[in-house]
Structure formats: C-alpha cells, structure tokens
Amino acid sequence: MKRFVLLIVLCLSALAGVWLVNEQQKKSGVVEAIEARRSIRIYKDTPVEREKLQLLAECGVKAPSAMNRQEWELRIVDSKEWIDGCSSAYLKAVEGTGKADYMKSAPGFKNIFRNAPAVIFVAAPEGVFAGENVGCLAQNIMLAATELGLGTCFLGSVQMMFAEPAMAEYLASLGFSEGYHLRYALAVGYPDEQPDAKPRDMSKIKFVE
C-alpha cells in the first residue's frame, strides 16, 4: 500500500513538473519579448554598453533577406557629442516651421532621436524586397533589445530629417556605401518609462478554409 501511494505521489510530481515546464515555456523566449516590447521615448542617461550594441547589430544581420543578399548596412552612434550636434543642426534648420517646437515639446526633450543615448542607423539600396529585408532586421534588433532590458523606438522620420541640407555633414559621417540610402534609425537606451501596450486588432487574423 505504501509503495502504491509513493508511486502515485511520484507520478503526480512528474505531471506537475511537466505542467510547470510547459507554462514556463509559454512565457519565455521570443514570445515573451514580443509581448513585452514597447516603443520607448524616454530614456535614462545611462550609456548603453558597446558589447550590447554590437550584439543587437549582430542579431539584426542574422535576419532573413531575399536570396540571402544581406543588402543592408548598419552604423551605430553612441557619441553624445555627435547626437547633440546633429540635433542642434536639425533644430536650427527647421526653426520657425513648427517642427522644432514639436520636437522640443516632447517630455524631457534631450535630442531628436527620442532622447536616446544611442542610435542604430540602417541603410539599404533601392530594389525589390529591400524594405522587407530591413524590416526583418529591425524587428530582430528590437526584440533582442527587449530581452537585454533595453528599450527601442523605430524612427522612420530620419529619412526626411536627413534630407535637410544642414544634415549633409552628419549623413556623410555615417559612411554608407554608394547606392545605399538611409531607411530608418532605431533609438536605443535604458527605458525611463513603462508605457502600456497599445490595443491590437486580432480580427485582422483569419484562417482560410
């Protein structure tokens, strides 16, 4: 009888262990990162370690691309002097247009890159699937950043910002290859806010029978 009870206890313990592992797996890894990711617009002044920035970039280039052409280039900027100088040049260029006031009205304004201490710029040539390729790259970086406790914000507006003649010097300093055009930038830093998740319309998902 004692052996039977012991066997039952062991079986129940094993089942409980399997259930616990399954529950943990449901709430870990990439799925957890997807659910936790937010667009961060307020960052701490804490610099991001270059080892982490390098890791983010490497995660990015491991993204899929059409025919594995990997037609993208990344430039990482964590120089406060560069970021502040770039911000000043842009704000001066658009002074009086309303754009400068809009930028400065952001909570805790520090720079035009959503106040982040580091920025990853991404460029790609024109071509079929170029947008899809760099889109996959961005998602890899943002999810990896979330797992590392970092925040990010996708900045598609940099295309227009760097089109200003006053920004030519800063664009050139990124050193993209001929034929490569700036597509977007990713603000990166340690979050100083915890925004709620925005609602998602799950009705967009349908099975085709």
For the chain, domain boundaries: 38-189
Mean pLDDT of 28-53: 93
Looking at the predicted structure, is the pLDDT value of residue 6 above 60? no
Mean pLDDT of 148-164: 96
Mean pLDDT of 121-128: 95
Kindly report the CATH number that applies to the domain delimited by 38-189. 3.40.109.10
pLDDT of residue 107: 81
Looking at the predicted structure, is the pLDDT value of residue 18 above 70? no
**pLDDT-based confidence at residue 191 (cuts at 50, 70, 90):** very high
Mean pLDDT of 136-154: 98
**pLDDT-based confidence at residue 3 (cuts at 50, 70, 90):** low
> Which amino acid is present at 10?
L
Looking at the predicted structure, is the pLDDT value of residue 21 above 60? no
